[in-house]
Amino acid sequence: MITDARVLQPEFIPREVTHRDAEVNTLSSVLQPILDGNSTDPVFLHGPSGVGKTCIAQFTVERLRENVVDLNHQYVNCWEDYSRFKTLYALLEGINKTIDIHRQSTPRDQLLDRLRDYDGPPYVVILDEVDQLEDKSLLYDLYRIRGLTMILLANNEQGVFADVDDRINSRLANATRIHFRQYHHDELVAILQDRVRWGLNPDVIDTKELDSIANNAAGDARVAIGILRQAARTANAQQMNEISKDVIRKVTPEAKSEIKQKTVDRLTTHQEVLYETITEYGEISPNELYEEYCNRVGDPKTQRMVRNYLSKLEHYNLIEAEGNTRGRTYRTVA
DNA sequence: CCTGACAGCCCGGGAGAAACCA
DNA sequence: TGGTTTCTCCCGGGCTGTCAGG
């Protein structure tokens, strides 16, 4: 059934992409100066999730690498490396300058100094989910580093530019912005067809089934590919020789929740208890939530810390809060 | 009531200096 | 003297109390 499982993985970067020619071309032309060994202004890719931002960014950088002998590059997910330190560390890793940096005890901001001292070939960095970056002023610092080109990825512009000071805003104002719209139904089907061709035996699934996957994915390619992956896996395990509509129907909910589940898995026990409590109640007031949380956990943190956790959960888009004062309620994101 | 911003505490742990010892 | 152990300092990150403001 499955001939190449890699092409069904979320992080897979295809060798050819469809339906994003305009975006690829714009991005490539902005990055043009790199072909001559120069850096260029930041590029900002924005659009909802599952529309190929990460994929296109990495794809374009890969293609750039085919044409430039000397090029360093690094992908950083700011969701994971959200602190200034972690992001900088990841960026230094991309140019192998971390050898003697041992997490702590390096003088404050020596990481940035070291990045400033960089005088190698052009360095292209992709900062994914850049809106999750804790300290946005890092963008300003990075902007001023010679030879460094930033590709910034985020869902919306506000998340990135709203809470940064004018210094950064004016610098990033001349960043080229590329908007990624949601995929249309037949584009999703085409993307799925490619994955099927590259990774599955022929004839295990036909267009009608791909249609229904695309319908369920609502323009989100990550979800669509996730459903396909789960369906293939399930059919494989049950030794079926084709992927039926039934299988697709069965795996769709879990495939959809898989992404959220991944986020939940990264939470600490305390954060998880909060999230579960809110999920069970559907909607709950802050003090009721705190009481319930204390009941459920052996060694409750203070209210203050719980507030930190809650804002983190909100940041991760797992919960949302309504009202800003007395009468505020928390609820899970639909 | 509830929040976000802020300052400050403590902890783990690495580095370099200092102290110690053979 | 040189090698080893201890000490001190620094950092990031988790955590907390306070406080102004809605």
CA A100 to C1' C2 (Å) is 25
Distance CA A45, CA A30 (A): 12
Reply yes or no on whether the pLDDT at A174 is more than 80: no
pLDDT tens profile A191-249: 999 999 999 998 899 999 999 999 999 999 999 999 999 999 999 999 998 999 999 99
The nucleotide whose C1' lies nearest the CA of A299 is C15
Task: Give start and end residues of each alpha helix (H) in A218-325.
Answer: 221-237, 245-265, 269-281, 286-296, 303-315
Reply yes or no on whether the pLDDT at A99 is more than 60: no
pLDDT tens profile A115-164: 888 888 999 999 998 888 888 888 888 988 889 999 999 987 776 776 56
Model pTM? 0.88
CA A231 to C1' C18 (Å) is 54
Please give the protein residue whose CA is closest to the C1' of the nucleotide B16: A105
Average pLDDT score over residue span A40-48: 93
Report DSSP letters for A276-289, one per residue: HHHHHHSEE-HHHH
Average pLDDT score over residue span A276-302: 95
The nucleotide whose C1' lies nearest the CA of A327 is B1
The nucleotide whose C1' lies nearest the CA of A106 is C11
pLDDT level of residue A79 (50, 70, 90 thresholds)? confident
Is residue A153 within 8 A of residue A126, CB to CB? The reply is: yes
Write out the H or E segment, with its range, that includes residue A319: strand A319-322
CA A107 to C1' C7 (Å) is 19
Reply yes or no on whether the pLDDT at A304 is more than 60: yes
Positions in chain C where some atom is under 7 Å from a protein CB: 9-13, 15-18, 21-22
Q: What would the two tokens of residue A89 be? A: 């560390």
Q: Of A45, A22, A317, which Cα lies nearest the Cα of A176?
A: A45
Distance CA A179, CA A153 (A): 10
Helices A21-30 and A53-67, packing angle to 10 deg = 50
Predicted pLDDT at A102:
56
Across A89-166, the runs of DSSP E, i.e. the strands, are 123-128, 148-154
Reply yes or no on whether the pLDDT at A109 is more than 80: no
- Among A33-37, A39-43, A55-59, A132-136, the range with the most confident prediction by mean pLDDT is A55-59
Positions in chain B where some atom is under 7 Å from a protein CB: 1-5, 12-15
Is residue A189 within 8 A of residue A210, CB to CB? The reply is: yes
Indicate if CB(A285) is under 7 A from strand B. yes
Using the 8-state DSSP alphabet, how is residue A200 labeled? B
The more confidently predicted of residues A178 and A79 is A178
Distance between start and end Cα atoms, chain A: 34
Q: Of A90, A156, A101, which Cα lies nearest the Cα of A123?
A: A90
Indicate if CB(A102) is under 7 A from strand C. no
Q: Which amino acid is at A67?
A: N
Reply yes or no on whether the pLDDT at A104 is more than 60: no
Distance CA A239, CA A199 (A): 17
Is residue A20 within 8 A of residue A189, CB to CB? The reply is: no
CA A119 to C1' B13 (Å) is 32
